[in-house]
Amino acid sequence: MEKQNTNFLKVNSGQPDERRLAYVKDEGTRSPGVLFIPGFMGHKDADKPKALHNFCKKIGLSFLRYDPTALGESEGLTERKDARFAHWLQDAEEVLLQLTDGPQLVIGSSMGGWIASLLAKKNPDKFHSLLLLAPSVNFSEFYIQKIRSKAPAPLLELLEKGGNYEYVDPKYGPYPLSLRVFEEMVPYELPLESEDGFTVSCPVRIIHGTQDNYSPYETSLKLMKAFNTSDLQLVYVKGADHHLDTSPGLDVVFDTISKMAISSKL
C-alpha cells in the first residue's frame, strides 16, 4: 500500500488537555464511509487497520484511521501515562463527527469495540452499521482486582498512591499503566446485565476468534444478548487469535465489510 499523507485534527483547542490527533483518510466512490477505532495501545499504522484500509480502497469505500491520544503520531499530552479512557472516547467521537460525512460503517477493534458501542448509542444518525472485532469491554474491574491480588506489596503501594508501572505487551511494546487508568473506566461500562439491554439502532456484526488470549470469545456472546437490536450476527472464527489480522480471521472481516456495504439499509 502506498504511503498516505498524515493530517491532524485539533481536539479541545485552548484547553489544558488540547491534543492533535494524527489521521489518514482516503475518499471513496460510494457509501458508506468506514471509520476504524483501534483498541488499547492500538494505532493507525498497525497491520490490521492498514490491511482494512487497503481492502476498502479496492472496493471503493472511503476509510479513516487515526492515532488516539498519546499513541502513534498524535500530540498533546506531555506524558503518555496521563491518557485516559475519557480521552480515547472523545477522540473517537470528534473524529466521527468532524472528519466523516454521513452515516459510517464503524469498526471497533478490541477496546475500540467498547468505544464504538457507546458512540452508536449516543450518535445513532452517524452509524450506518457497527462491526466489532474481538470486542473487549467492561474489563476495568477484572484488571483492578488482578493488580490488587497479584502485584508485589511495594508495587501495589505505589499504584494505590497513584503511581504507574511500565507494562510491556508482546505485540505493542511498553506502556505505562496505573490503577487509575482502570478505575476511571468503570463509569463507562456497558449495561450487559441490565434487563433493558443496550439499545443501538443500526445493524451489528461481531467477529471473534476462539483462540483469543486477551478477550475471551464468550464476551461477544454476552454482548449479543445485551444489545437491544434485531439485526445482529455473531461469527466465531475457529483458531483465530485476538488480533484478527491474518487468515482466516482477516478474510472473514473482509467478507463481512463487503456484505455490510452492499446496501445502505443492509
pLDDT, averaged in runs of 10, over the chain (266 residues): 82 87 96 97 95 97 97 84 93 98 98 98 97 96 87 88 83 82 94 87 97 94 93 97 96 98 66
Q: By C-alpha distance, which of 69, 85, 91, 116 is closest to 181?
A: 85
DSSP state, 227? B
DSSP state, 72? T
Q: By C-alpha distance, which of 84, 124, 88 is closest to 106?
A: 124
pTM for this prediction: 0.93
Q: By C-alpha distance, which of 89, 96, 107 is closest to 46?
A: 107
Residues 6+ apart with CB under 8 A from 157: none
pLDDT at 264: 52
- The domain defined by 7-137+190-261 carries CATH number 2.70.50.60: no
- Nearest-angstrom CA–CA distance, 242 and 239: 10
- Burial class of residue 231, CB neighbours in 10 A (0-12, 13-18, 19+): middle
pLDDT at 168: 80
Write phi, then psi, for 203 (nearest 5 degrees): -60, 145
pLDDT at 147: 86
- Nearest-angstrom CA–CA distance, 94 and 108: 15
pLDDT at 3: 65
- Burial class of residue 83, CB neighbours in 10 A (0-12, 13-18, 19+): buried
Alpha carbon 53 to its chain's center: 15
- Beta strands 104-109; 30-37: pairing state: parallel
- Beta strands 61-66; 19-26: pairing state: antiparallel
Contact in structure between 53 and 73 (CB atoms under 8 Å): no
Q: What is the chain's Cα-based Rg?
A: 18
Domain segments of the chain as ranges: 7-137+190-261, 140-184
